[in-house]
Structure 1
Amino acid sequence: MIKHPLFVIIACAISIGAGLYLNSSYIEIFASVIGVINVWLLARQKVINFLFGAIAVVSFMYIYFKTGLYAMVILSALQLIFNIYGWYYWVKNKGEDDTAPTIRLSTKGYVIWVSIILVTWGIWSYIQVTYTGATKPYLDAFIAVIGLAAQYLLSKKILENWHLWILMNLILIVMYLSTELYVMILLAIINLIICIDGLIEWKQSYKANRNREGATGTGF
């Protein structure tokens, strides 16, 4: 059901209806709808997801700036860059399935990325607390770092990006509750469902690619 285009149509309709009912801003509703389409296309491994991703992050950038989530503003700007890079990388390295093959992190890659995330979170949190008036500096910084790491892994077609997106959406639900961005709570829940489905589909794609080529590709 999630793979069917009807799912994303219904999800978008729910986001619009909920947004109008809750008197959310039009930019919030628009960002929610584009975000749903972006994640659904990503789960389906469609290169055009990067176009919708770019539009979504620009919209989110404005929303985050208005609510004082400054680390998220920086995250959105960097995600825009990674969307452009990801589009280039997927097209350049597309295989038999007209998309870049899915790869996985090695054990060394896991250790390196966990270390990068924790160290960057600590530095970013310190900067936020010391130099900005961010409303939720630690949570804001953690989500920003997770999102940035996930976006990079996504651009390189590394499977583990889904683990980070799932974690990020769980945390976003909590953050949106505290900032009363109710339509975006709904978006996070829908995206969480799609991310879980995306993880399953990418795993199947990875296994199929290994069986077809006898490959054991891993990423940094």
Structure 2
Amino acid sequence: MVKHPLFVIIACAISIGAGIYLNSSYIEIFASVVGVVNVWLLARQKVINFLFGAIAVVSFMYIYFDNGLYAMVVLAALQLIFNLYGWYYWVKNKGEEDVAPTIRLSIQGYVIWTSIILISWGLWSYIQVKFTDASNPYLDALIAVIGLVAQYLLSKKILENWHLWILMNAISIVVYFSTGLYVMILLAVINLFLCIDGLLEWRQNYEVNRHRKGATGTGF
């Protein structure tokens, strides 16, 4: 059901209806709809997802700044750069496929990226508490760090990006609830389903390529 275009149409309609009912801002409703389309296209491994991703993160940048989520403003700005890079990388390395093949992190990659996330979270949280009036500095910083790493892994077509997106959406629900961004909560819930579907589809794509080529691609 999630794979069918009807799902994304219904999800967008629900986001619009909920936004109007909750008297959300137009930019919040717009960002929610574009975000749903972006993640659905990403799960389908469509390169055009990066266009919708760029539009979505610019919209989110404004929303986060307006609500004092400064780390997430930086996240959105860097995600814009990663969207442009991902677009280039997917097309450049597509080979015989429509997009670059899916690869996985090595054990070393798991250790390195886990360490990067934990250390960056601690540093970013400290900066937020010390120098800003961020409304939720610790979770805000955690979401920002996870989002940046996930976006980088996505741009390199690394399967594990989905694990991080799933975690990020779960944490985002807590942050959105505490800041009153209720239509964004709905978006995060919808994205959870889309991310799980994306994980399953990318994993299937990885297994098909692995058996076809007789080797497992890994990334840092």
Q: TM-score range by the shorter chain?
A: over 0.9
- 1:134 and 1:21 map into 2 onto residues whose CA distance is 28
- Residue 142 of structure 2 aligns to which amino acid in structure 1? F
Task: Tell me the equivalent position of 1:158.
Answer: 158
Three-state SS of the structure 2 residue aligned to 1:166 is helix
Q: TM-score, normalised by structure 1?
A: 0.99
Which consecutive unaligned segments of at least 5 residues does structure 2 have?
A: none
- 2:190 and 2:51 map into 1 onto residues whose CA distance is 20
How high is the sequence identity, in percent, across the aligned residues? 82
Task: Tell me the equivalent position of 1:36.
Answer: 36
Task: Tell me the equivalent position of 1:170.
Answer: 170
1:93 maps to 2:79:
no
Q: CA deviation at 1:96?
A: 2.8
Deviation by residue 1:124-156 (Cα, 9 ceiling, x = unmatched): 111111111111111100000000000000000
- 1:63 and 1:147 map into 2 onto residues whose CA distance is 16
Task: Tell me the equivalent position of 2:58.
Answer: 58
Which consecutive unaligned segments of at least 5 residues does structure 1 have?
A: none
- Residue 163 of structure 2 aligns to which amino acid in structure 1? H
Q: TM-score, normalised by structure 2?
A: 0.99
Task: Tell me the equivalent position of 1:22.
Answer: 22
Aligned length: 220
Superposition pairs for residues 50-129 of structure 1, below 5 Å? Answer: 50-129=50-129
Deviation by residue 1:64-83 (Cα, 9 ceiling, x = unmatched): 00000000000000000000
Q: CA deviation at 1:24?
A: 0.4
- Residue 165 of structure 1 aligns to which amino acid in structure 2? W
- Residue 7 of structure 2 aligns to which amino acid in structure 1? F
- 2:112 and 2:71 map into 1 onto residues whose CA distance is 22
Q: CA deviation at 1:216?
A: 1.3
Q: CA RMSD in A?
A: 0.6
Q: CA deviation at 1:212?
A: 0.9
- 1:75 and 1:85 map into 2 onto residues whose CA distance is 15
Task: Tell me the equivalent position of 1:145.
Answer: 145
Find runs of 4+ consecutive structure 1 residues off by over 6 angstroms.
Answer: none
- 2:185 and 2:130 map into 1 onto residues whose CA distance is 29
- 1:171 and 1:99 map into 2 onto residues whose CA distance is 30
Q: CA deviation at 1:165?
A: 0.1
1:131 maps to 2:108:
no
Q: CA deviation at 1:214?
A: 1.2
- Residue 17 of structure 2 aligns to which amino acid in structure 1? G
